[in-house]
Amino acid sequence: MAQNRRGCGCAVVVAILFLAIIFALWYFIFRSREAPLPPPSGNELQVHVLDVGQGDSILIISPEGKAVLVDAGDTGRGRAVVEALRRHNVAEIDLLIATHAHADHIGAADEVIRAVSVRRVLDSGVRPPTRDDSAANQNNANGRNANGRARATRGGGREVTLPTTRAYEDYLTAVRERVANADENYINAEPGQRFDLGGGAVITVLAPMEPYFTRDQLRSGGNEPNANSVVVRLEYGRFSMLLTGDAEAHACWTGNYPTQITREAETQWSREHEPVPTD
């Protein structure tokens, strides 16, 4: 009888293990499969790289006419961006993506937000460093909060206003003052978020992911705002484009990025920039 009971117990354990393996396989297969893209409408998807001198500003117009602006150029360049928007008949920006808090990417964001209706804003919530590196690192490692998101420097660090910090504060103020229902429409970037632009065009957020890069993790002059840039993939049918802000090649190889983005980044960087580091 004792032997029979042991045999029965083993069968139950095997059955539980079997079910657990089936569940794990189902879970990983199901979870790893991204939802399929909507079919392309056949209308034109436009990507305009705006001439803002130093820095970036990229305008995407979806096949259904929705406009996405990725960065807004340096402080004082807002007029060039706004004129470009008017040239392309953009009356409203559906989504403004501020890739990272450096002045040459978000310096003119406040000017644009005040000149053109902006429905939603997406950023990483990682604030720029101050001169006080230790305090800044502490901020950047944890630098997100739900509402104000720009935390004061902690640890008694001396806060010094740099041009980038000023640009970031001006950007935050403009978002709070001009973006309707900012509690909902000012969005923290998280991997996997999808923005359907209509007509089959989709933007998917790939980075940053927590824990954010800190200065200590970055070698050879890397910096945290760059490494923690919002990275998105724009897709339309068989076309896809990776928009990386200032995410750096070596940041891509320190383990924070998912395999998928690493592969895409390798292709893009090896084509456009310096050779991808192998260490």
Which residues of the shown chain bind Zn ion in the complex (CB under 5 A)? 102, 226, 246
Cα separations in angstroms, 214 against 43, 61, 97, 209: 42, 34, 22, 12
Q: Which is nearer to Zn ion, 62 or 140 (CB)?
A: 140
Nearest distance in Å: CB 110, Zn ion: 17
Q: Within a 13 Å sphere around the CA of 229, how many CA atoms are in the beta-carbon half? A: 25
User: C-beta of 106: minimal distance to Zn ion in Å?
Assistant: 9
- Paired with 49 in beta bridges are 58
Task: Please give the DSSP secondary-structure letter assigned to residue 149.
Answer: -
| DSSP code for 217 | G
Task: State the minimum distance, in angstroms, from the CB of residue 231 to Zn ion.
Answer: 13
The H-or-E segment that residue 70 falls in is: strand 67-70
Distance in Å, CB of 133 to Zn ion, minimum: 17
The nearest distance, CB 140 to Zn ion, in angstroms, is 13
For residue 250, which phi and psi values (nearest 5 degrees)? Answer: -70, -25
- In terms of Cα–Cα distance, which of 228, 273, 230 is closest to 251? 228
CB nearer to Zn ion: pick between 66 and 102: 102
Q: Pick between residue 94 and residue 246 the one whose CB is nearest to Zn ion.
A: 246
**Strand pairing of 46-49 and 58-61?**
antiparallel
CA nearest neighbour of 102 among 131, 83, 75, 63: 75
In the bound state with Zn ion, the residue whose beta carbon lies nearer, of 56 and 94, is: 56
Min CB(163)–Zn ion separation in Å: 13
- Residue among 63 and 225 whose Cβ is closer to Zn ion: 225
Nearest to Zn ion of 167, 205 (CB atom): 167
